[in-house]
Amino acid sequence: MRYSKKKLEKLLCLEDFSLAAQRYLPSFMYAYISGGVENNSSLAQNRRIFDELGFAPRVMRDVSHVDMSTTLWGDTYTAPFGIAPMGISAISAYRGDAVLAGAAQEAGIPMIMSGSSLIRLEDICSVGPNVWFQAYLPGKQEQIEALVARVAQAGFQKLVITVDTPVAANRENNVRAGFSTPLRPTLRMITDCALHPRWTFGTLMQTVLRHGMPHFENNYATRGAPIISRNVLRDFSDRSHLNWAYFQRIRAMWKGKLIMKGVLTAQDAQRAVDEGADGIIVSNHGGRQLDGSIPPLLALPEIVRACPTVPVMMDSGIRRGSDAMKALGLGARMVFIGRPFGYAAAVGGQPGVQRAIELFATEVKRNCAMLGLTRASEMTDAYLRTLSPASHFERYLGKL
Ligand SMILES: Cc1cc2nc3c(=O)[nH]c(=O)nc-3n(C[C@H](O)[C@H](O)[C@H](O)COP(=O)(O)O)c2cc1C
């Protein structure tokens, strides 16, 4: 049902997985993954911003061996990229979180499990230490404490708190495509499923038959709503009142590494570090929250400069090894990629994710060699130029 090895070999870059998934998934499911928010402005800018920078490669250096390893807080990963957290992955792909985690662990890169996942966090934690957990904070202090205690009890060492969702995003594209959480079956949805039998039988039916109706397992310490339901409203807790005091209490409770995801200003990043954050993920949620929010690549240099003591990472819009190199050049220690790995899991299961990881790792390695680098960790802004003197980046290059 899913893509064979031979078919996966025909996919040559991350964007190819998007085209494959568009054919494979029902349109409501593809719309959920691919979409941004409102006018999709941030989604488009997340990609465009990479074109503001070009490379100034160095030549005649022995690049016969390129080391891509990256060390964060004493842990070494094989490459400077990882898999971003994606909610409900186990319904877009068969056992989605497990195949993403399995492929990442095998490849030696980090994978962040979403709090809006449909497989119990304990089951994914056991895949290995490369799996980090991302939480959406529940609205009440006692719920937060119970969730953090559960994540610690499961054995996770890295906790990522996503902070760019104080209220629900205006995902009109989801409404237009008939997508909601929980999924509410309609005639249109059933027709869509019938037209995409590979997903319907290979993912949806297999999941329900083998594992029962999926539920939101990890938004709280206890089980949440089922994914398919006519009536039950998903328990979207109101987090609009959350503030730094909640973060302080989590810091006091959580003994592992604490990472804040969804930061776009130097002020917030600095405050997070002052409050005890061990790392920052600069992100606009892949353009899925505030439409018009600046591309993370734009915010990256000022955040790197403001937070010299912790790893600054980023995501949103990275599709090529060259994009990753630009982010590393601006000071990111690790980049995360979302949608393409979600598509890879959907069309190809774990071998699909492995293929996507290999393709991307090969691009990063090739780009290092082309730039004259024997280590990815040696990428700096010395290898970057702005393509226009009016570029935002002009004031940072050479000063990072
Ligand atoms: C389908 C989907 C689900 C997502 N779910 C979550 C989530 O549960 N938690 C979270 O912090 N971010 C979530 N994100 C945002 C990603 O973690 C990441 O910030 C974004 O996808 C990066 O952009 P990219 O897709 O352009 O690589 C989701 C993104 C997608 C595409």
Residue 230 has pLDDT above 90, yes or no: no
Per-residue pLDDT, 1: 77
Residue 388 resides in a domain? no
CA dist., res. 329 & res. 366, Å (int): 16
Residue 385 resides in a domain? no
Taking CA atoms only, the protein residue closest to ligand 1 atom 10 is 85
Domains held by the chain: number: 1
What's the average model confidence in pLDDT over 182-186? 89
285 is catalytic: yes
Per-residue pLDDT, 182: 86
Residue 30 resides in a domain? yes
What's the average model confidence in pLDDT over 10-38? 98
Residue 51 resides in a domain? no
Per-residue pLDDT, 234: 58
Kindly report whether the peptide bond that precedes residue 182 is cis, defined as omega within 30 degrees of 0: yes
Pocket test for ligand 1, best of 288, 297, 300 (most atoms within 8 A of CB): 288
**Which residues, judged by CB distance below 6 Å to any ligand atom, belong to the binding site of ligand 1?**
33, 46, 84-87, 114, 116, 134, 162, 261, 283, 285-286, 288, 315-318, 337-339, 342
Which ligand 1 atom minimizes the distance to the CA of 92? 1
Q: Tens digit of pLDDT for each residue in 67-80? A: 999 999 999 999 99
Residue 16 has pLDDT above 60, yes or no: yes
On average, the pLDDT of the chain sits at: 96
Of 282, 263, 367, 273, nearest to 330 (Cα)?
282
C-alpha to C-alpha distances, 156 to 129, 135, 153, 211, 360, nearest whole angstrom: 7, 12, 8, 24, 26
Boundaries of domain holding 32: 5-46+56-379
Listed in sequence order, the residues at least 6 apart from 168 whose beta carbon sits closer than 8 Å to its beta carbon are 236
Q: Tens digit of pLDDT for each residue in 260-311? A: 999 999 999 999 999 999 999 999 999 999 999 999 999 999 999 999 999 9
What's the average model confidence in pLDDT over 344-356? 98
Taking CA atoms only, the protein residue closest to ligand 1 atom 1 is 33
Provide the pLDDT confidence category of residue 233 given band limits of 50, 70 and 90.
low
What's the average model confidence in pLDDT over 185-201? 95
Residue 303 resides in a domain? yes
Per-residue pLDDT, 244: 97
Residue 229 has pLDDT above 80, yes or no: no
Provide the pLDDT confidence category of residue 237 given band limits of 50, 70 and 90.
low
Q: Residue 180 in 3-state DSSP?
A: coil
Domain CATH code at residue 152: 3.20.20.70
Provide the pLDDT confidence category of residue 231 given band limits of 50, 70 and 90.
low
Which ligand 1 atom minimizes the distance to the CA of 337? 27
CA dist., res. 111 & res. 239, Å (int): 25
Residue 270 resides in a domain? yes
Q: Tens digit of pLDDT for each residue in 104-146? A: 999 999 999 999 999 999 999 999 999 999 999 999 999 999 9
Provide the pLDDT confidence category of residue 236 given band limits of 50, 70 and 90.
low
Q: How far is the CA of 370 from the centre of ligand 1 (A)?
A: 30
Which ligand 1 atom minimizes the distance to the CA of 32? 1
Residue 245 resides in a domain? yes
Of 328, 353, 293, nearest to 68 (Cα)?
328
Provide the pLDDT confidence category of residue 235 given band limits of 50, 70 and 90.
low
Residue 390 resides in a domain? no
